[in-house]
Amino acid sequence: MDRANFRRGGYLDHADRYIHAEAFVETAKKIWDSWEDGAVSSSVSADSWAVPGHARRVHHSGQHYSVDVTPRLPRSAQYRPVLFQAGDSPEGRDFAARQADVIFSAHPKFDDAAEFRADIVSRSLAAGRGANDVQIMPASEFILAATDEEAREKKEWVRGLQIGPQQAVAYLEQFWAGSCPPTIPMVRFRRSIRWWRRPPRPGGAASTGPKPGSSPSNGAPKLPRRGCRSGSS
């Protein structure tokens, strides 16, 4: 399907994204709330499986959404889906405080995490909600091993697989955007990392990755061909 059928084109400004998101959530909540408790008949002899008058028509007209409908299906037993929010900006935190059930936290240090928690509680109370209405789900990873030494070895192995030459160059090019600082010989840097070896698995055999001097047919990674290219060679 043509993706143009499902979006307006371009991207909203950062602040406008949460205005649009809040309009979506508010509209969805009106639809979820249109079926009252007990709207589905519990009697097998009833003339209709839905009790007449227990499903309200939803009239909503706003900047982003316009709805005029009587939903044909009742809401779920839990009323609505659990709402997660992943934004960490002030606008994102305010949106979570007003609408979300859970917010992700990318603050691995204890003091930062505690400050984040206090801020979310403060914003939730200001929005008229309870201190614990927004649960926090920290972004954590676990490395399991029999000993601390093995765990550290596994951690280094995982990091080596996550961050390689391709990721490093792509990350740097986000900042330089085609114009390298004159002190950085990017072409030479590219050549120096063109051949690399994957880190060996902890306790396993040596890496089977491409060796220095091998040909591209041996599986060397293709480096991104965009962004920063200038520099001495």
Rounded to the nearest 10 degrees, what angle do helices 90-99 and 110-126 cross at? 60
- The string of pLDDT tens digits covering residues 159-213 is 887 777 777 777 777 776 555 554 555 545 454 444 445 566 666 654 444 444 4
120-129 long-range contacts (CB < 8 A, ≥24 apart) are 120/93, 120/96, 123/93, 123/94, 123/96, 123/97, 124/97, 126/97, 127/94, 127/97, 127/98, 129/97, 129/98
How far, in Å, CA of 31 to CA of 59, rounded?
A: 9
Give the angle 220-225-231 at the CA atoms, nearest 5°.
100
How far, in Å, CA of 88 to CA of 164, rounded?
A: 27
Partner residues linked to 170 by β-bridges: none
Q: Look at the pTM and tell me if it is higher than 0.85.
A: no
How far, in Å, CA of 103 to CA of 93, rounded?
A: 8
- The string of pLDDT tens digits covering residues 133-149 is 999 999 888 899 999 99
Q: Tokens 């959404």 — which residue?
A: 65
